[in-house]
Structure 1
Amino acid sequence: MTKSFLADTCQTTTRLASTNDATQTTPDRESVKVVIYGSKKGVNNTILTLYKLGFAQVNEWSPLLPSSNPGEVMSILTR
């Protein structure tokens, strides 16, 4: 895949949530998990892209874990 689709779809002028808001826990917030599946290179590149977009810090993702498909890994972010 090319990265060109990111520039076209991310034209919002306001941030939906800051990283400080996302790391604070409050009783009324539900925990969610974001999972990325793919090759090691694909997962790492996606994590770096999401970091550059301000979505999450690189160290907030789990280490690369094997998935049920051969040659595929996954990484999990819990918010």
Structure 2
Amino acid sequence: MAQLENSAQSKLEQFLGENLDTPTPNQSTENPFSNREPIKHLLIGSPKAVTSTIHYLQVIGYANVRDWSPLLPTNNSDEVMSILIRQILM
């Protein structure tokens, strides 16, 4: 299981890019985020399922719990949603 989490972490780091403060040779120092785009994650489900997923994503190192919006109600009485916006390397 630990090897699977390490592999997922490595892929995640490749996806997000590391060393955000260090420009690559082809990257301008004036705008370090010029090759990044926002991506929005939306979790919808029961409060327990959404909260559990948010905590799991923290365990695997994808996003801290505090990065997600508070649980917001949907039109369905048994559902909530939470939103996360990340910048990804393109």
C-alpha separation between the residues in 2 aligned to 1:68 and 1:28?
37
TM-score after normalising by structure 1: 0.71
Counterpart of 2:13 in structure 1 is 17
The higher radius of gyration belongs to 2
**RMSD across aligned positions (CA):** 2.7
For residue 65 of structure 1, report the CA deviation from its aligned partner. Answer: 0.4
Structure 1 unmatched runs, 5+: 1-6
Q: TM-score, normalised by structure 2?
A: 0.63
Match of 1:45 among 35, 38, 52: 52
Residue 39 (structure 2) aligns with: 32
Unaligned residue ranges in structure 2 (runs of 5+): 22-31
| 2:5 and 2:60 in contact (8 A); partners too | no
Name the one with the larger strand percent: 2
The alignment-based identity, stated in percent, is 40
Task: Give, as a single letter, the amino acid of the residue that structure 1 aligns with 2:13.
Answer: A
Aligned equivalent of 1:61, options 65, 68, 72: 68
Post-superposition Cα deviations, 1:29-75, rounded to whole Å, max 9, x if no partner, equal 11010011111111111100110011100000000001122210000
What is the SS of the residue equivalent to 1:16? helix
